[in-house]
A and B are shown apart, each in its own frame.
Chain A
Amino acid sequence: MSFLKKLVRNREAGLTLVIILLVLLVGLRNPAFASLSNLQFILGDTSIMIILALGMLCVLLVGSIDISISAIMALSAMTAGILMKNNLGLVETTTLVEGVETALAIKTSTPLIVLILLAMGVGAACGLVNGLLIAYGKVLPIVATLGLQYIIYGLSHLVSSGQAIYRKDMSESFIQFTRHNLLGFNSKVWIMLGTFLLLYFFITYLRSGRRLYAVGSNREAAQMSGIDTKRTTLMAHVIMGALAGLAGMLYASHDNKVTQDMAMGYEMYVIAACVIGGVSVTGGFGKILGVLLGALAIGVINNGLTMLRLTGNSEFWKKAIQGAVILIAVVTNVYIKRGHEKRVLRERRL
């Protein structure tokens, strides 16, 4: 098989090529874009979307969808934020530097890990409600999660009583949590990688992970072979919820801010990332590496657009380019697939 043929057959390789092309294109206009540090930055910036897309993969695999994730992010970050704000204390540390006394105020609060676990717990609870409605209440996924989106945003308004959480209300460890670098990569990247590997292991090597595929591929068959399809659907939604909670914390730490309407509209990017990554929206098919690359492609587009140095009607062009690139990527996928099918047909001997 020629290299090109292989490339076309392998969606992941194709996507990688598309991403490299995008980077080169933008880099041509603005060399700063293609610099290593900027690419590291993009990876960090896209980590949140990748984490969400990984969760969305699970949900899409079982043939469901979740459009309430941005609301879940808001609610879980808000819950953790309020806890943090209310427990915030100042620790005055005095240090002597060459005889000059400096007062360093470090804000401490509930330990970071507790906050993260709390947020993930809140997220998982929201996912649980989604899953219960969909799997046991037989409410269609779009309807259930659309309704829950309204409700959860409303809840985040209620728990915050209209107040936002600002940097001044955040503990130092929380603010710094997404600002550490390790081996040149942001902590978000490491958290994303950890999530990625865990999920990769889960859906490749564990039975309950593989069953996500089985349920989405043929629900009836899964039922007949004894898979609890309802519980599997529920599990997918809980995973999504927990990851949305984690993503919400990263988002809040990164933005230094939690508002009750945080991340509104983010879900559409996440779904688009999955689709570009080759996940079937009707369930049963999708590779985890594809999702990673799909999200990365969107991250490159979003970051690249700000670096294109467009002038004039730039705002419009940014929006249009974004829509167009997504559409083109998805449509190209369709053509590649059709080409593949045609090739298979041609190879048949009649």
Chain B
Amino acid sequence: AEEPITIGVVYKQSGNPFFEAGVRGFDEASKELGFTFIHNGPADSSNEGQIQIIEGYIQQEVDAIAISANDAAGVVSVLQTAMDKGIKVVSWDSKVEAAGRNLNVDPSVAQNIGRVQVEEIAKQIGYEGQIAILSAAATHDNQNTWIAYMKEELEKPEYDKIELVTVVYGDDLTDKSYQEMQGLINSYPDLKGVISPTTVGVAAAAVAIKDMGMSGKIKLTGLGLPSEMADHLADGTCEAMFLWNPIDLGYAAAYASIAMVKGDITGAVGEKFDAGRLGEREIMDAGDGGTFILVGDPFRFTGENIDDWKNVY
């Protein structure tokens, strides 16, 4: 019998529920396609930890590596040695630089992610007043890209009366994010709304807003985990927030990896493959020298639909 295909899945941090959900996507795909996979992430969301894991996968002679990178540049070298050995590399959720991957599975177009959050907050505050952004760390590539697109979106005339007063960073630590949010509330008495495009930040911000008695007075949106945000959506501290579906993300990454291992695709622009229940996906130019596929647009979670999701991821 032929040996089954093995995928080595690497994510940013061990024990992070977002990636637990992502792994469920791989699980689903493996039942459909009949491959095996192993998964792991460093305890401290470090680049060095991911390299250790990748080297372990190379040692185990996996057929493909599917990675959500902590540092887009930092794993390029080791992934190149993997590719030299014939291992296919697919990045998902958080991309690897073009030189270190065969294909990127993008949750959504960065521009869209930036845009929907600005649209949402503008609508909630009535297109007028001060807003602020509570980000993760100033070093996170995807955060910075989204923030850049948000600023671009804010240039549009319909947002003329909206002022972005500051961007603060909570380092994806709950207590620091909480402190920063509290600092925002105290520093800017006229603050109307906050965008926090990070799951840790938006949850901490919601708690801070509630604790300071500002529920309803300061609007909040961002990218949040349904399980973590369930209560805040239900009681209206956060009217709506967004996130793509990590299960679909993992699922799509698994299908892409298998297609590549089987030789159905090589990762070139224009190639198409079947992504199971998600339908057909076409490979596009990512503009960074590499290619990518898109999974879907961010989903809007509100108090009405949150009950369907809060136990999912």
* A interface with B by C-beta (< 8 Å): 30, 32-33, 35, 38, 41, 45, 153, 157, 160, 162-164, 166-168, 179, 251, 254-257, 259-261, 263-264, 302-303, 306-307, 309, 311, 314-315
**Interfacial chain A residues near B183, Cβ < 8 Å:** 303, 306-307
- Report yes or no: A257 in contact with B20, Cβ–Cβ below 8 A: no
Contacts of A33 in B (CB 8 A): 186
Smallest CB–CB gap between A171 and chain B, Å?
Answer: 12
A and B contact pairs by CB, cutoff 8 A, 14 listed: A32-B186, A163-B17, A166-B227, A251-B175, A255-B175, A256-B231, A257-B174, A260-B15, A303-B179, A307-B187, A311-B166, A314-B168, A315-B138, A315-B169
* Complex A-B, nearest 6 residue pairs according to Cβ-Cβ distance, in ascending order: A306-B183, A162-B15, A168-B230, A255-B174, A167-B231, A32-B186
Closest Cβ of chain A to B302, distance in Å, is: 16
- Contact status of A32 and B187, CB under 8 A, knowing A157-B15, A261-B43, A306-B182: yes
Residue contact A30 to B203, C-beta cutoff 8 Å: no
User: Which residues on B sit within 8 Å (CB–CB) of A163?
Assistant: 15, 17, 20
A30:B15 contact, CB within 8 angstroms: no
Inside 8 A of B178's CB, which chain A residues have their CB?
A: 254-255
- List B1-41 residues whose CB lies under 8 Å from chain A: 14-15, 17, 20
- Give the complex CA separation of A302 and B43 in angstroms: 26
Which chain A residues border B175 with CB–CB below 8 Å?
Answer: 251, 254-255, 263
Q: Name which residue of chain A comes closest to B179, CB basis.
A: A306
A157 to B189, CA, bound (A): 41
**Option from A162, A166, A309, A314 in Cβ contact (under 8 Å) with B14:** A162
Query: Once the chains bind, are A38 and B186 in contact (CB under 8 Å)?
Result: yes
Shortest beta-carbon distance from B184 to chain A in Å: 8
Interface of B is mostly: helix
> Residue B232 at the A interface, CB < 8 A?
yes
B207 interface residue (CB < 8 Å to A): yes
Q: Once the chains are docked, how many angstroms separate the CA of A257 from the CA of B203?
A: 9
Q: Indicate if B211 sits at the interface (CB-CB under 8 A).
A: yes
Given contacts A254-B175, A256-B203, 16 further A-B contacts (CB under 8 A): A30-B186, A41-B182, A157-B14, A162-B20, A167-B230, A167-B232, A254-B207, A255-B175, A255-B204, A255-B207, A256-B231, A303-B183, A306-B182, A307-B187, A309-B166, A315-B138
Cα–Cα, bound, A214→B117 (Å): 61
Given contacts A32-B189, A179-B211, A309-B187, contact A160 B15 (CB under 8 A): yes
Residue in B15, B20, B182 with the greatest tally of chain A CB atoms within 10 Å: B15
Q: B155-188: which residues lie under 8 A (CB-CB) from chain A?
A: 166, 168-169, 174-175, 178-180, 182-183, 186-187
A62 CB to closest chain B CB, in angstroms? 29
A164 touching B15 in the complex, CB below 8 Å, given contacts A153-B43, A255-B207, A307-B183: yes
Cα separation A303 to B304 with both chains bound (whole Å): 36
Q: What is the CA–CA distance of A314 and B222 in the complex, to the nearest angstrom?
A: 22
Chain B residues within CB distance 8 Å of chain A:
14-15, 17, 20, 43-44, 137-138, 166, 168-169, 174-175, 178-180, 182-183, 186-187, 189, 203-204, 207, 211, 227-228, 230-232, 310
A257: chain B residues at CB < 8 Å are 174, 203, 228
Q: How many A-B residue pairs have CB under 8 A?
A: 83
Closest CB-CB distance, B173 to chain A, in whole Å? Answer: 9
Q: A38 to chain B: which residues have CB within 8 Å?
A: 186
Separation in Å of the A86 CB from the closest CB of chain B?
A: 14
A312 to chain B, nearest CB (A): 11
Least CB distance from A188 to B in Å reads: 11
- Residue among A33, A45, A168, A261 with the highest chain B CB neighbour number at 10 A: A168
Cα distance, A306 to B187, chains bound together (Å): 9
A308 to chain B, nearest CB (A): 9
B15 contacts which chain A residues (CB < 8 A)?
157, 160, 162-164, 259-261
Cβ-defined contact, B187 with A30, below 8 A: yes
| Whole-angstrom CA separation of A256 from B187 in the bound complex | 24
CA separation between A303 and B232, bound complex, in Å?
25
Q: For A167, list chain B residues within 8 Å (CB).
A: 203, 207, 228, 230-232
User: Shortest CB–CB separation between residue A254 and chain B, in angstroms?
Assistant: 8
Q: Which of A166, A261, A302 has a CB less than 8 Å from the CB of B179? A: A302
A168 to B206 CA separation, bound complex (whole angstroms): 13
Q: B230: nearest residue on chain A (CB-CB)?
A: A168
A164: chain B residues within 8 A (beta carbon): 15, 17, 228
Q: Is the CB of B227 within 8 A of A168?
A: yes
Q: How far is the CA of A314 from the CA of B43 in the complex (A)?
A: 28
| Distance between A5 CB and nearest chain B CB, rounded to angstroms | 38
Q: Which residues of A contact B20 (CB under 8 A)?
A: 162-163
Chain A contacts for B138, CB-based, 8 A: 315
Q: Specify which chain B residues have a CB less than 8 angstroms from the CB of A311 in the assembled complex.
A: 166
Kindly state the separation between the CA atoms of A166 and B17 in the bound complex, as whole angstroms.
11
Q: What's the Cα separation between A307 and B183 when bound, in Å?
A: 5
Question: Which A residues touch B166, using CB under 8 A?
Answer: 309, 311
Q: Taking CB as reference atom, which chain A residue is nearest B206?
A: A256
Alpha-carbon separation in the docked complex, A9 to B1 (Å): 83
Alpha-carbon separation in the docked complex, A315 to B143 (Å): 15
Which residues from A are CB-within-8-Å of B207?
167, 254-256
CA distance A251 to B207 in the complex (A): 13
Closest to B207 in A: A256
* Least Cβ–Cβ distance between A117 and chain B, in angstroms: 24
**In the assembled complex, which residues on chain B have CB atoms less than 8 Å from the CB atom of A41?**
182
Q: Contacts of A254 on B, CB cut-off 8 Å?
A: 175, 178, 207
- Shortest B125–chain A CB gap in Å is 21
